[in-house]
Amino acid sequence: KMAEYSVGTIVLSVDGQEYDCSKFTSKKTTGNKRILTMNRKLKAKFKTKGITVYDLTCSVVIPDGKDTVDWDGVEGIRISIESPTGGFRETYTDCEVQEYSDSYDVNGETMRDLTLFAMDYLKESF
């Protein structure tokens, strides 16, 4: 059996500039809820659809002297996750930064750890 490929690239785009990510986590919350009512069976029997939201965390590798992004003011960030074979792509669009922090590595890497939200999510299969 041949080895399988994992995710190939995770790229964050800001104003046409691309930054490589070393780590990425997404959490999708549906907002669906159950509605509790008083009834003879003492069980929930109603539910409601909610608004889906996307919460993201991302560690962006910043080349030395190249961090020109105003992280607390930037809008319209795009994050794409792609397979190396081109089989699928996930994209989070219209992202905004909620929190950011600096991180330094023993290997000399400068990182920005970002907490973001996305307004939309697209999943494509090819």
In the block, residue with structure tokens 């109603």: 46
Residues 39, 16 contacting (CB under 8 angstroms): no
In the block, residue with structure tokens 């961090």: 67
pLDDT tens, residue by residue, 3-34: 565 667 888 998 888 888 888 999 999 999 99
pTM: 0.81
Where the chain has pLDDT below 70, the residues are 1-7, 64-66
What are 31's two structure tokens?
A: 């907002």
As a whole number of angstroms, the distance between CA 88 and CA 82 comes to: 6
Give the count of beta carbons closer than 10 Å to the beta carbon of residue 91. Answer: 17
Which residues neighbour 118 within 8 Å (Cβ) at sequence distance 6 or greater? 54, 56, 79, 92, 93, 94, 95
In the block, residue with structure tokens 């962006």: 60
Task: Give the pLDDT score at 3.
Answer: 59
Task: Give the pLDDT score at 94.
Answer: 96
Nearest CA among 31, 28, 29, 27 for reference residue 50: 31
Nearest CA among 9, 14, 7, 26 for reference residue 112: 14
In the block, residue with structure tokens 């889906």: 52
